[in-house]
């Protein structure tokens, strides 16, 4: 038994710390946004088998949310868990609990994404913006994880979410679409294997393409369409369109090619980026690639009778909203600040953040149902960024709860093992060495004088 620290269990600490009924109410409100069968889901996925110190699924979920939403190290998570009176776990035990919670958190996210949370009148058209972003673990120079997202713009919520490793490519086949959906995606999704599953469901597409990554045909089973000569015939101002066919593994589908010339400034910027990328990767550029960089090209199966070429281009510009959604995830929720290198722990971290963002989207829907005019005023509309920041702070504080100075000071002896530094092999912390020396100055004068300045220097050098 160590003589400098008294270890108390979570139950003993909870009896000594002041109660916080309001905090439990706030956390209960967060749980109301989630499925009611948390215990069954945790048991089925084996996330909660041993209930020592983690007595319930809500307690485990609270630990996951604190880790994912607060970006705390494992030791601080363990200290907070003890401070809230939830249980007494070491940082290693916290790590193990978080690792095994990965399937359960993924299931909760899938349930939240698939839930019907829209309280108002649904939009006449379901507009899905699809994109992906990359995540790197600490010290990595490449892509370790990729988050795929389908954003339902009309309802302001996630329609589909998937987390893969760095080898998981961008494809529309990852998501389930319904007949009549309008899907907008960038050129990374212009692949026949990915477009076919969406087209066969009866969905409408607006997908940007390159000059050679998506072969098109003038007629079924016909020769490939030569794109560059057609682009050269486009008018200086305004878009052009061409009815074509797209062959996929699911069959051939009629599509429409829509293209326009870029401004000289935009074309020069695109060519400069291509040259920089080619230099970085050590490969030569084709003249056709540089020429095609001066055009914007997209394919769509929206009917030309109701969607003109200008409207298709305007619709594609709305795709920027999914980029802003990723920016909110990385700026507000700190999605890109991955702390872990372990695969299971990394996925728990990413899935936990996405679960928090999905809960924020549910609150966004409730807020819009209260007064839709706040979101639809053209002159001074409500800022989605500021409202998302409000939801983030609300959810985070509901999980963490207020930590008063009196509460932390009362529990400080019990938190020592979580807050102390790891053992040092060579030097002790310099501040500790200085404090030890200053403490010696409080000794009787005879002992203080007997400490020469050279001895103090050696003490600092060896202890710091």
pLDDT tens profile 397-424: 999 887 778 888 888 888 888 888 777 6
Q: Is the pLDDT of residue 117 over 70?
A: no
Q: At what angle do helices 91-100 and 57-70 cross, to 10 degrees?
A: 100
> How far is CA 346 from each of CA 76, 101, 160, rounded to the nearest angstrom?
17, 11, 20
Question: What is the tens place of the pLDDT at every residue in 245-257?
Answer: 999 999 999 999 9
pLDDT at residue 8 above 50? no
At 362 the pLDDT is 87
**Distance (Å, whole) CA 274 – CA 260:** 19
Which band of pLDDT confidence, cut at 50, 70 and 90, is reported for residue 65? very high
**pLDDT confidence of residue 426:** 63
- pLDDT tier at 119 (50, 70, 90 boundaries)? low
412 DSSP 8-state letter: G
pLDDT, tens only, 316-351:
999 999 999 999 999 999 998 898 899 999 999 999
pLDDT digits (tens, 9 = 90+) for 73-90: 999 999 999 888 888 899
Q: Check residues 426 and 449 and name the one with the higher pLDDT.
A: 426
Q: How far is CA 97 from the centre of its chain?
A: 21
CA–CA separation, 33 and 157 (whole Å): 14
The confidence score (pLDDT) of residue 223 equals 87
- Which pLDDT band holds residue 440 (cuts at 50, 70, 90)? confident
Residue showing tokens 């089973």 = 221
Query: In angstroms, rounded to a whole number, what is the distance separating the alpha carbons of residues 56 and 86?
Result: 10
Structure tokens that stand for 70 in this block: 């607060």
Instruction: Please give the average per-residue pLDDT across 382-404, as a whole number.
Output: 89
Phi then psi for residue 276, to 5 deg, are -65, -40
Domain with CATH 3.90.350 in the chain: 120-339
Residue 390 half-sphere exposure toward CB, CA atoms < 13 A = 9
Q: How far is CA 287 from CA 131, 202, 271, 293, in A?
A: 29, 37, 11, 10
Task: Give how far the C-alpha of residue 7 lies from the chain's centroid of Cα atoms, to the nearest Å.
Answer: 37
pLDDT at 367: 82
Task: Write out the two tokens for 177.
Answer: 């679409």
- pLDDT reading at 353 higher than 90: yes
CA 280 – CA 285 distance, rounded (Å): 12
- Residue 256, token pair as written in the block: 């429409």
Q: Kindly report the average pLDDT of the chain as a whole number.
A: 85
Percent pLDDT > 70 in the chain is: 88
* pLDDT at site 121: 66
Q: Picking from 22-31, 68-77, 94-103, 164-173, which range would have the lowest pLDDT averaged per residue?
A: 22-31
Q: How far apart are CA 334 and CA 437, in angstroms?
A: 42
Q: What is the pLDDT of residue 273?
A: 93
Q: How many CB atoms lie within 10 A of CB 155?
A: 21
161: left (phi over 0), alpha (psi -120 to 50) or beta: beta
User: How confident is the model over 423-446, as a mean pLDDT?
Assistant: 71
The pLDDT > 90 percentage for the chain reads: 56
* DSSP symbol at 86: S
Residue 234 has pLDDT above 90, yes or no: yes
Cβ–Cβ < 8 Å for 37, 54? no
pLDDT for the residue 120: 61
Residue (of 353, 351, 332, 349) closest to 340 by Cα position: 349
Predicted pLDDT at 16: 47
- Closest CA relative to residue 258, chosen from 212, 304, 221: 304
Query: Can you tell me the distance from the alpha carbon of 273 to that of 264, in angstroms, rounded to the nearest whole number?
Result: 14
The mean pLDDT value for 232-245 works out to 92
Q: Could you give the strand order of the β-sheet that contains 182-185, starting from the edge strand earlier in sequence? A: 157-165, 145-152, 127-135, 182-185, 204-208, 295-300, 251-261, 240-248
Task: Phi first, then psi: give them for residue 159, nearest 5 degrees.
Answer: -95, -25
Rounded-to-integer distance, Cα 71 and Cα 62, Å: 13
Query: 120-339 has which CATH code?
Result: 3.90.350
**Hey, what are 124's tokens?**
């006449």
Cβ count near 392 (within 10 Å): 19
Task: Give the pLDDT band of residue 7 (cuts 50, 70, 90).
Answer: very low
| Contact between 125 and 182 (Cβ < 8 Å) | yes
Query: Which of residues 381 and 232 earns the better pLDDT score?
Result: 232
DSSP string, 84-132: TTS----HHHHHHHHHHTHHHHHHHHHHHHHS----SPPPSS-EEEEEE
Helix (H, G, I), strand (E, B) or coil at 160: strand
Closest CA to 103 of 159, 186, 163: 163
If one counts every other C-beta atom within 10 angstroms of the C-beta of residue 208, the result is 19
pLDDT surpasses 60 at 457: no
- For 175, half-sphere exposure in the C-beta direction (CA atoms, 13 angstrom radius) is 34
Q: Around Cβ 273, how many Cβ atoms within 10 Å?
A: 11
User: How confident is the model over 165-175, as a mean pLDDT?
Assistant: 92
Banded pLDDT at 425 (limits 50, 70, 90):
low
268-302: per-residue pLDDT in tens? 999 999 999 899 888 888 899 999 999 999 999 99
Say if residue 22's pLDDT is above 60. no
Residue 35 reports pLDDT greater than 60: yes
* DSSP H/E element including 212: none
């Amino acid at each position: 038994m160590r003589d400098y620290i008294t270890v108390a269990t979570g139950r003993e600490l909870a009896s000594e710390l002041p109660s916080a009924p309001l905090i439990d109410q706030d956390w209960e409100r967060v749980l109301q946004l989630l499925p009611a069968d948390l215990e069954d889901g945790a048991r089925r996925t084996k996330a909660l088998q041993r209930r020592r110190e983690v007595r319930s699924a809500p307690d485990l979920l609270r630990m996951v949310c604190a880790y994912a939403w607060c970006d705390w190290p494992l030791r601080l998570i363990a200290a907070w868990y003890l401070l809230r009176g939830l249980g007494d776990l070491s940082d290693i035990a916290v790590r193990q609990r978080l690792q095994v919670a990965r399937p359960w958190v993924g299931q909760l996210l899938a349930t939240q994404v698939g839930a019907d949370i829209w309280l108002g009148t649904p939009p006449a058209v379901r507009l899905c913006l699809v994109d992906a972003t990359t995540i790197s673990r600490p010290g990595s120079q490449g892509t370790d994880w990729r988050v795929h997202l389908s954003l339902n713009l009309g309802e302001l919520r996630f329609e589909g979410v998937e987390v893969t490793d760095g080898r998981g490519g961008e494809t529309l086949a990852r998501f389930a679409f319904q007949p009549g959906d309008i899907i907008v995606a960038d050129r990374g999704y212009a692949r026949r294997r990915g477009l076919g599953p969406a087209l066969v469901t009866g969905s409408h597409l607006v997908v940007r393409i390159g000059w050679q990554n998506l072969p098109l045909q003038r007629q079924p089973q016909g020769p490939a369409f030569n794109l560059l000569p057609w682009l050269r015939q486009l008018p200086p101002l305004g878009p052009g369109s061409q009815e074509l066919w797209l062959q996929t593994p699911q069959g051939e589908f009629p599509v429409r090619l829509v293209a326009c010339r870029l401004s000289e400034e935009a074309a020069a910027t695109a060519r400069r980026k291509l040259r920089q990328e080619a230099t970085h990767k050590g490969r030569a550029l084709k003249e056709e690639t540089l020429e095609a960089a001066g055009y914007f090209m997209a394919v769509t199966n929206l009917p030309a009778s109701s969607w003109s070429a200008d409207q298709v281009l305007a619709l594609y510009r709305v795709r920027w909203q999914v980029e802003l959604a990723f920016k909110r995830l990385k700026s507000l929720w700190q999605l890109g600040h991955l702390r872990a290198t372990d695969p299971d722990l990394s996925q728990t971290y990413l899935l936990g953040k996405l679960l928090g963002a999905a809960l924020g989207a549910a609150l966004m829907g409730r807020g819009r149902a209260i007064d839709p005019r706040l979101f639809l005023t053209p002159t001074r509309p409500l800022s989605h960024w500021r409202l998302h920041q409000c939801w983030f702070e609300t959810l985070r504080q509901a999980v963490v709860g207020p930590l008063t100075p009196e509460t932390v000071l009362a529990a400080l002896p019990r938190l020592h093992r979580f807050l102390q530094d790891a053992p040092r092999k060579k030097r002790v912390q310099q501040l500790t060495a200085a404090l030890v020396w200053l403490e010696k100055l409080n000794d009787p004068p005879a002992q203080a004088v007997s400490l020469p300045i050279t001895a103090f220097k050696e003490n600092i050098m060896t202890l710091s």
